[in-house]
Amino acid sequence: MEVLLDYVYELNWITVIVAACVGMLINAAWYSDSLFGKQWRKSVKLKKSDTEKDGVSVTLLISLMTLIISAAALGVLVMVLDLSGAVSGLLLGTLVASGFVITNNGMHKLYEQRPFALYAITAVGDILTLAAMGAILATWS
Protein backbone atom coordinates (compact mmCIF):
# COMPACT_ATOMS: atom_id res chain seq x y z
CA MET A 1 0.00 0.00 0.00
CA GLU A 2 2.83 2.34 0.82
CA VAL A 3 4.29 1.95 -2.67
CA LEU A 4 0.93 2.81 -4.24
CA LEU A 5 0.69 5.97 -2.16
CA ASP A 6 4.18 6.93 -3.33
CA TYR A 7 2.81 7.09 -6.87
CA VAL A 8 -0.07 9.29 -5.73
CA TYR A 9 2.37 11.67 -4.05
CA GLU A 10 4.48 11.80 -7.22
CA LEU A 11 1.57 12.73 -9.49
CA ASN A 12 1.85 15.93 -11.45
CA TRP A 13 -1.33 17.39 -9.98
CA ILE A 14 -1.45 20.28 -12.43
CA THR A 15 -1.57 17.77 -15.27
CA VAL A 16 -4.25 15.80 -13.41
CA ILE A 17 -6.35 18.97 -13.06
CA VAL A 18 -5.82 19.88 -16.72
CA ALA A 19 -6.83 16.37 -17.81
CA ALA A 20 -9.95 16.54 -15.64
CA CYS A 21 -10.87 19.95 -17.07
CA VAL A 22 -10.44 18.61 -20.61
CA GLY A 23 -12.73 15.74 -19.58
CA MET A 24 -15.31 18.31 -18.44
CA LEU A 25 -15.06 20.11 -21.79
CA ILE A 26 -15.49 16.85 -23.71
CA ASN A 27 -18.55 15.99 -21.63
CA ALA A 28 -19.97 19.51 -22.02
CA ALA A 29 -19.71 19.17 -25.78
CA TRP A 30 -20.86 15.53 -25.85
CA TYR A 31 -24.01 16.21 -23.84
CA SER A 32 -24.81 19.50 -25.55
CA ASP A 33 -27.82 19.76 -27.82
CA SER A 34 -25.42 20.07 -30.77
CA LEU A 35 -24.30 16.49 -30.23
CA PHE A 36 -26.15 14.01 -28.01
CA GLY A 37 -27.85 16.06 -25.29
CA LYS A 38 -31.34 15.73 -26.71
CA GLN A 39 -31.05 11.96 -27.17
CA TRP A 40 -29.48 11.56 -23.72
CA ARG A 41 -32.26 13.56 -22.01
CA LYS A 42 -34.90 11.53 -23.87
CA SER A 43 -33.25 8.27 -22.75
CA VAL A 44 -33.20 9.31 -19.10
CA LYS A 45 -36.59 11.01 -19.31
CA LEU A 46 -35.40 14.53 -18.46
CA LYS A 47 -36.57 17.82 -19.90
CA LYS A 48 -34.10 20.52 -20.79
CA SER A 49 -35.48 22.59 -17.91
CA ASP A 50 -34.58 19.73 -15.53
CA THR A 51 -30.91 20.15 -16.43
CA GLU A 52 -31.01 23.90 -15.87
CA LYS A 53 -32.44 23.92 -12.33
CA ASP A 54 -30.72 25.18 -9.20
CA GLY A 55 -28.21 22.64 -8.01
CA VAL A 56 -26.67 22.11 -11.43
CA SER A 57 -23.53 23.88 -10.21
CA VAL A 58 -23.23 21.29 -7.41
CA THR A 59 -23.62 18.53 -10.00
CA LEU A 60 -20.90 20.09 -12.14
CA LEU A 61 -18.58 20.42 -9.14
CA ILE A 62 -19.13 16.77 -8.20
CA SER A 63 -18.54 15.80 -11.84
CA LEU A 64 -15.24 17.67 -11.82
CA MET A 65 -14.23 15.93 -8.60
CA THR A 66 -15.01 12.50 -10.07
CA LEU A 67 -12.96 13.37 -13.16
CA ILE A 68 -10.05 14.46 -10.95
CA ILE A 69 -10.19 11.09 -9.19
CA SER A 70 -10.32 9.28 -12.56
CA ALA A 71 -7.43 11.35 -13.90
CA ALA A 72 -5.37 10.68 -10.78
CA ALA A 73 -5.98 6.92 -11.04
CA LEU A 74 -5.12 7.02 -14.73
CA GLY A 75 -2.01 9.06 -13.90
CA VAL A 76 -0.89 6.39 -11.43
CA LEU A 77 -1.34 3.74 -14.13
CA VAL A 78 0.69 5.86 -16.55
CA MET A 79 3.53 6.00 -14.01
CA VAL A 80 3.34 2.31 -12.99
CA LEU A 81 3.37 1.24 -16.64
CA ASP A 82 6.06 3.85 -17.42
CA LEU A 83 4.13 5.15 -20.42
CA SER A 84 5.02 8.23 -22.37
CA GLY A 85 3.52 9.88 -25.39
CA ALA A 86 0.01 10.72 -26.48
CA VAL A 87 -0.65 7.47 -28.33
CA SER A 88 0.31 5.30 -25.35
CA GLY A 89 -1.89 7.38 -23.05
CA LEU A 90 -4.76 7.35 -25.53
CA LEU A 91 -4.57 3.55 -25.75
CA LEU A 92 -4.42 3.21 -21.96
CA GLY A 93 -7.44 5.48 -21.52
CA THR A 94 -9.33 3.50 -24.15
CA LEU A 95 -8.40 0.21 -22.48
CA VAL A 96 -9.47 1.42 -19.02
CA ALA A 97 -12.73 2.82 -20.39
CA SER A 98 -13.49 -0.32 -22.39
CA GLY A 99 -12.33 -2.83 -19.81
CA PHE A 100 -13.82 -1.30 -16.68
CA VAL A 101 -16.05 1.71 -17.17
CA ILE A 102 -18.30 0.84 -20.10
CA THR A 103 -18.56 -2.84 -19.21
CA ASN A 104 -19.72 -2.00 -15.70
CA ASN A 105 -21.96 0.77 -17.00
CA GLY A 106 -23.43 -1.63 -19.57
CA MET A 107 -24.25 -4.16 -16.88
CA HIS A 108 -26.08 -1.51 -14.86
CA LYS A 109 -27.99 -0.24 -17.90
CA LEU A 110 -29.02 -3.80 -18.69
CA TYR A 111 -30.33 -4.49 -15.17
CA GLU A 112 -32.03 -1.09 -15.05
CA GLN A 113 -33.66 -1.88 -18.42
CA ARG A 114 -32.45 1.39 -19.87
CA PRO A 115 -32.47 2.02 -23.63
CA PHE A 116 -29.47 0.90 -25.64
CA ALA A 117 -29.14 4.48 -26.95
CA LEU A 118 -28.35 5.65 -23.41
CA TYR A 119 -25.65 3.01 -23.07
CA ALA A 120 -24.15 3.89 -26.46
CA ILE A 121 -24.10 7.64 -25.74
CA THR A 122 -22.48 7.25 -22.32
CA ALA A 123 -20.06 4.52 -23.42
CA VAL A 124 -18.61 6.47 -26.34
CA GLY A 125 -18.45 9.63 -24.24
CA ASP A 126 -16.56 7.75 -21.51
CA ILE A 127 -14.11 6.29 -24.02
CA LEU A 128 -13.42 9.72 -25.53
CA THR A 129 -13.00 11.30 -22.11
CA LEU A 130 -10.62 8.70 -20.70
CA ALA A 131 -8.66 8.44 -23.95
CA ALA A 132 -8.10 12.21 -23.99
CA MET A 133 -7.17 12.27 -20.31
CA GLY A 134 -4.76 9.37 -20.82
CA ALA A 135 -3.11 11.13 -23.75
CA ILE A 136 -2.62 14.28 -21.68
CA LEU A 137 -1.30 12.41 -18.65
CA ALA A 138 1.17 10.29 -20.65
CA THR A 139 2.41 13.34 -22.55
CA TRP A 140 2.83 15.82 -19.68
CA SER A 141 3.66 13.60 -16.71
* Domain residue ranges of the chain, discontinuous segments joined by +: 2-140
What is the predicted pLDDT for the residue at 16?
A: 98
Query: 7-12, long-range: CB within 8 Å, 24+ apart, which pairs?
Result: 7/76, 7/79, 7/80, 8/72, 8/76, 10/79, 11/72, 11/75, 11/76, 11/79, 11/141, 12/75, 12/140, 12/141
What DSSP string describes 37-101? HHHHHHHHT--GGGGGSTTHHHHHHHHHHHHHHHHHHHHHHHHHTT--SHHHHHHHHHHHIIIII
Question: Mind listing the pLDDT tens digit of every residue in the chain (141 residues)?
Answer: 668 788 999 999 999 999 999 999 999 999 999 999 999 999 998 888 777 777 778 889 999 999 999 999 999 999 999 999 999 999 999 999 999 999 999 999 999 999 999 999 999 999 999 999 999 999 997
What is the predicted pLDDT for the residue at 30?
A: 97
